Structure 1
Amino acid sequence: MPSHPVSADVQYRLATPDDAERLLDVIYDAYVTIRELELKWPAAHADLEQIRDNIAKNECYVLEADGVIAATLTLSKEPLVRWDSDLPFVKWFAVHPEYQGSGIGTKLLNWVEEAIICDKLGASALTLATAEKHPWLLAMYERKGYERIRSVDHGNGDGTMHLLRKVVNPELFEADLLAKKGHVEAQQLT
């Protein structure tokens, strides 16, 4: 049970540099298990400068509950060289422990999927990655409709990492697949 009851007064917005200290607290406190598992995830070990850098280089979204940042999720603007995917990638998803179990994280994730990925970007799907050795993250994302599309062990001690995808616009996703298939077939003919 969350230690903070969550009222209906929630707001979604982009983070600003002024939010960096609170975001450091949210991410650091939320990523305790990640550090205990000795995963090398940058967010789990971020300092204030890395938080500011994330805000400046990416789209870092926050959910405020009663005026307090309770959760955050970043839409990466950096190329996904290691995953070879052209779909939007979200990372640094964290819910402050005082709000965990309240549904705040699901609200933020759903809002980003709908308002940002689907409506703003017009994308058919999004991706995220998580570690197999985390005790509950993989199952949680799969319950939320994400499916495993690629697995790899980068050899850095994190073990098997899974790239997951969630289709947020099925019609557009099918059209994208058909267009890619047609493009590949056309290239094979030349």
Structure 2
Amino acid sequence: MTRRYRMADESDAKELLALTERAYEQIRRLGIHFAAAHADLDLVLNNIRKNACYVMEEDGRVIATISIRMPWGQQPGPYGVPHIWWFAVDPASGKKGVGSELLEWLEQTILRDSLKVPFVSLGTADKHPWLIDMYERKGYVRSGEQDFGKGHITVYMKKQLRTDL
């Protein structure tokens, strides 16, 4: 079992769409309106083209993806730092630490060590039954809320990555 991380490219779009559809099925059943939960091929391609979209491969197959929106991009996060979004793990790989491994790699290798960001943000739905608790266990703290009229409140969370800046 060989895992590797890399930046996604347009040739990954169909595979990422299929992964996202599987991974976000529970979100759709919960009635939470995350953009990724209702993605189509155009939205996947837009994400790859305009954000930093990473994949985790295992034996040549994409098993997880995570993206960051940049402060200068189309949809910046609320704090002027990279903002995590579109985080999906293939349910067939779930409960094995794949998501935690990918998130930790992104936080440390890309955000902390390469981009030198002091902290990162993300947003999740207040109505999700376990995501807020999961992110808090991973060191994220609540930092704000916003109602975008999607039927839930977006809870913003931040995680300190560097204290030397």
- Report TM bin, short chain: over 0.9
Matched with 1:61 is 54
Q: Distance in 2 between matches of 1:116 and 1:156?
A: 31
Question: For each residue in 1:164-185, what CA deviation from the matched residue of structure 2 results, as whole angstroms up to 9, or x when unmatched?
Answer: 001111232xxxxxxxxxxxxx
1:72-83 aligned within 5 A: 72-77=65-70, 78-80=73-75
Q: Does 1:141 find its partner at 2:141?
A: no
RMSD of aligned C-alpha atoms? 1.3
Deviating above 4 A after TM superposition, structure 1's stretches of 4 or more consecutive aligned residues are: none
Which structure has the highest helix share of the two?
1
Give the counterpart of 1:109 among 103, 111, 122: 103
Q: Secondary structure at the match of 1:85?
A: coil
> Number of paired residues?
163
CA drift at 1:66: 1.3
Structure whose alpha-carbon radius of gyration is higher? 1
Give the counterpart of 2:158 among 158, 162, 165: 165
1:154–1:32 CA distance, 2 compared to 1 (3 A): same
Q: Distance in 1 between matches of 2:47 and 2:123?
A: 17
Q: Does 1:100 find its partner at 2:94?
A: yes
CA drift at 1:80: 4.8
TM-score by length of structure 2 reads 0.93
Question: For each residue in 1:6-63, what CA deviation from the matched residue of structure 2 results, as whole angstroms up to 9, or x when unmatched?
Answer: x3x1100000111111101111111112111222211100111111111011110000
TM-score by length of structure 1 reads 0.82
CA drift at 1:152: 2.1
Give the counterpart of 2:37 among 21, 35, 44: 44
Structure 2 segments unaligned to the other structure (5+ residues): none
How high is the sequence identity, in percent, across the aligned residues? 40
Matched with 2:20 is 27
Q: Distance in 2 between matches of 1:24 and 1:80?
A: 20
